[in-house]
Chains A and B, each alone.
Chain A
Amino acid sequence: MSDKEILLVEDNPDDVELTRIAFDEAKVANRLVVVRDGAEALDYLFARGVHAGRDPEDLPSIVLLDLNLPRVDGREVLQAIRENPRTRSLPVVVLTTSTEPFDLESAYALGVNSYIQKPVDFERFVWAVKQVGLYWLVLNQPRDP
């Protein structure tokens, strides 16, 4: 199982806390790094701005991305990840409340690995987060950076 951290890009503090609880309940032990907007997500991944001190080679095992974010939105984050050779293969899972065909299509067109709608029901939310953890951290073989 990958022991690298999980990067959660989410502006809603309630959703951040629930995702944290869901990972705990699903016994996913990887450290959860939370950034609250798209600009900070890119700073983190590219080790710049407030995250300039980070090792740019130290990428998370997976990015959980909300689409509607302040400053730089989720689609732009996804586009920047896919355009940079170093982050091109990074698994990105969109975790959002929207099932609008427009959101689905734009996310897949920009190269998202998976698109998951956050269920309202808490047990189903925990189940969904557990499946994400199992699949991307245990089952999936990532490409060497």
Chain B
Amino acid sequence: MQHQDLSLPSIEPAGDTAELAALREALAASQAQVRALAAQQEAMAYGISHDLRSPLRTIDAYSSMLERDAGAALDDSGRERLGRIRAAAARMASLLEALLDYSRVERVELASAPVDLGLFADLALAELQEVDAAKRVTATIAPGLVAVGDERMLRLLMTHLVRNAWNFSGEQVKLDVSGRQEDGMIHVSVRDAGSGFDPRYAQRIFEPFQRAHLAEQGAGHGLGLAIAARIAERHGGRLHAESTPGSGSVFHVELPAAT
């Protein structure tokens, strides 16, 4: 891939209007390049969303029909292999969704409205419980955790934080979402009693595709926390985490508060 030079010309005191005009022209050209790159990124994200999901659906559908209609004729290892095909298709679908979200977080125009973060934590938990009813859940979600921002994006942020707590919690999920307001910001803490992570990775876990765990320990596609952190940053806030390995993690998110 060829990288385009996006650097702006160095700004020096403009001696005359001709020099100033040249600088303006160079700036306009750079801005046009940035816009073209953004449009290119958008087209790529659109391609991911539309064209890559379709073959995955075909893979999942035919393995599902094969499992159902010819499953009895297969031995255990045949059925297991089919199961692996379907699990891989589901993982890839989830990865595509996350890649799309990650690129969308950068380019979306943010709306601004009061958003009840506790409500979205609750909804995310309910969705997870629906899919995996075997886990035992104890959750405390404080009322009145209202931030100001883009509802769709903040919902995504809370969903990823709750999902993260869920994935690293084993059969017993203990979730505590609380918060306080300070200097115009709301500080929300999402605390779990899961496996935690090595504090040395406290920064790295927010970078895309950086994981502190293996898949069998609960790790997902490695984009969830990166998405959550970028959403917080785009709102002028931040996300950070602390953990004691073996006894859980706390994710702290700071966002503009509702006045």
Contact = CB atoms under 8 A, between A and B. Distances in A.
Interface of A: 12, 14-15, 18, 21, 68, 96-101, 118-123, 125
A130 to B, nearest CB: 15
Given A15-B57, A18-B58, A118-B53, 5 more contacts: A18-B61, A99-B49, A100-B46, A101-B108, A122-B57
A125 B57 contact: yes
Contacts of A123: 64
Interface string B110-128: 0000000000000000000
B55 interface: yes
Contacts of B207: none
A96 B50 contact: yes
B90 interface: yes
A97 B54 contact: yes
Interface in B60-82: 60-61, 64-65
Given A18-B57, A98-B49, A120 B93 contact: yes
A140 to B, nearest CB: 26
B49 A120 contact: no
B49 A100 contact: yes
A12 B55 CA distance: 10
B56 interface: yes
B59 to A, nearest CB: 9
B58 to A, nearest CB: 4
Contacts of B93: 120-121
Contacts of B53: 97, 118, 120
B89 A120 contact: yes
Given A15-B57, A99-B49, A118-B57, A21 B90 contact: no
Interface residues of B, number: 18
Contact of A98 (B46, B58, B61, B89): B46
A12 B54 contact: yes
Contacts of B64: 122-123
A23 B105 CA distance: 36
Contacts of A125: 57, 61
Contact of B60 (A15, A98, A122): A122
Residue among B50, B53, B57, B60 with the highest chain A CB neighbour number at 10 A: B57
Residue among A99, A118, A119, A122 with the highest chain B CB neighbour number at 10 A: A122
A98 B47 CA distance: 9
The 3 closest A-B pairs by CB, nearest first: A122-B61, A120-B93, A122-B64
Contacts of A99: 49
Contacts of A121: 60, 90, 93
A121 B54 CA distance: 11
B60 A14 contact: no
A100 B103 CA distance: 12
Contacts of B65: 21, 122
B46 A15 contact: no
Contacts of A12: 54
Contacts of B57: 14-15, 18, 97, 118-120, 122, 125
A97 B46 CA distance: 10
Given A120-B90, A122-B65, A97 B60 contact: no
Contacts of B51: 97
Contacts of A119: 57
Contacts of A120: 53, 56-57, 60, 89-90, 93
B54 A98 contact: no
Residue among B49, B50, B51, B61 with the highest chain A CB neighbour number at 10 A: B61
